[in-house]
Structures are given as structure tokens and as C-alpha cells.
Amino acid sequence: MSPGRTLSFAAVIVLTACAGTTTFTSTWKSPDIHQAVSPLGKSIAAVFITRDESQRRAAEDDLAADLTARGARGIAAHTLLANEPGWNGDAALTKLKEAGVNGAVVMRVVGKDQTLTYTPGSAMSTRYNRFGPYWGYGWGTVYDPGTVRTDTLVSVETLVYSLDKDKLLWASTSRTTNPKNLASLVKEVAAASANEMVQQGVLTP
């Protein structure tokens, strides 16, 4: 198998959503990747690891649809692989390869945290000696009690594999702030991953 064919499977997370609030805490790419490639025409499995079967199906469907929209043949892994403890890695790999799948994008939530941000208010002294001056000054200097904002930070691990060579091509851990729902999380992480891979010379712009 040629290096170009092997590396082409790294080009699997080119999605339409913007990067939004997703940032990366770590990334890695295979040293074998020497030029940007395109996902066009590749069969790519979309995998979302969770014990919640309904969430898995929804996330994989969303990711597969976005892959297909960008020229790959996106395949939701749940259509080929059951979500059951009996599955092992070798069996899953064999099943996917038998179905003609060349690569896989795997996502897994690895953390969820909340942060509180307090913005202090302000208070100013007022004039009490006369009603008139106090009236105008008091309304103009009403105490601001400050605000407290709670943010939810979701960390996601994303892995890109070539199944033909059973090789990891690209990996990252990202953090998304206040995702609206599972679908927006998947799309935003995938889009941010695509942008990062372009910056690293893995994907064509």
C-alpha cells in the first residue's frame, strides 16, 4: 500500500461547522504524514464511544453525515458494530474491513467540568445631606451586585485511524465550552479538529 493511500485516511474530519468554543489541550500526528490529503471517496467509520446506545447512534449519525457532506463515504459504526461488551478490538477491525471501511474517526468524552466566574460589582458613596442632590446622585450610582456565570467544559478525545494498516494517524484532546447538545458538541469538535489538521498540514484547506 502506497504512503499516499495510507495517509489519505487522516483526512476524515473535514466538517462544515465552525470551531466555536473548542480549544485543544493536546494534539499528535503520525510522523509518516508528509503532505496534506483529501477525504474524497474514502469509506470512513464514525465512532462515538459511550454506554448510552441512543447517544451513540445519534452522535455517529451526525458525524457520518458530515463526513459524507465533505466527500467521504461516512458510515455510522453502529450500523456495522453492536454496542455490547462481547466486542473486542480484533473482531471490530475485521468486521469493518470486511465491510470495505478504510478508516475511522473515534470520539470519546473524557471529562466534564464546571467553572464559576464571578464579576465583582461596584458601590459608590452617596450624598445624604439634601434630597435633591441625593436623588440624582443615588439613581446614577446604583450598586451593581456583580454577576456569577457557570460554564460547562466538555473534554473530548478524537482519534483518526487507518484501518488498512491498523495505524493511528492523528489524535487530540479538546475542550468545548457550553455545548448546546450532543449534536453541536460532535460537529464543533470535528470542525475544530479539521481546522487544526489543516494547520498541521494533514488536510487540504
For each of the domains in the chain, give its residue range(s) and CATH number, in order of start: 3-117+148-199 (3.40.50)
By C-alpha distance, which of 1, 5, 6, 2 is closest to 30?
6
Other CB atoms within a 10 A radius of the CB of residue 193 amount to 29
Mean pLDDT by 10 residues, the chain (205 residues): 41 40 93 80 92 93 87 92 72 92 93 80 58 68 72 93 87 94 93 87 74
State whether residue 117 is helix, strand or coil.
Answer: strand
CB 41 within 8 A of CB 71: yes
By C-alpha distance, which of 198, 186, 189 is closest to 63?
186
Instruction: Give the pLDDT score at 83.
Output: 66
Spatial distance between the Cα atoms of 165 and 30, rounded to a whole number of angstroms = 13
Give the DSSP letter of residue 182.
H
Sheet holding 43-49, edge to edge: 23-29, 167-177, 147-162, 103-119, 43-49, 73-76
pTM of the model: 0.75
**What one-character-per-residue DSSP string does 30-86 give?**
-TT--S-B--TT-EEEEEEE-S-HHHHHHHHHHHHHHHHHTTSEEEEGGGTS--STT
By C-alpha distance, which of 17, 72, 66 is closest to 44?
72
Instruction: Give the pLDDT score at 5.
Output: 40
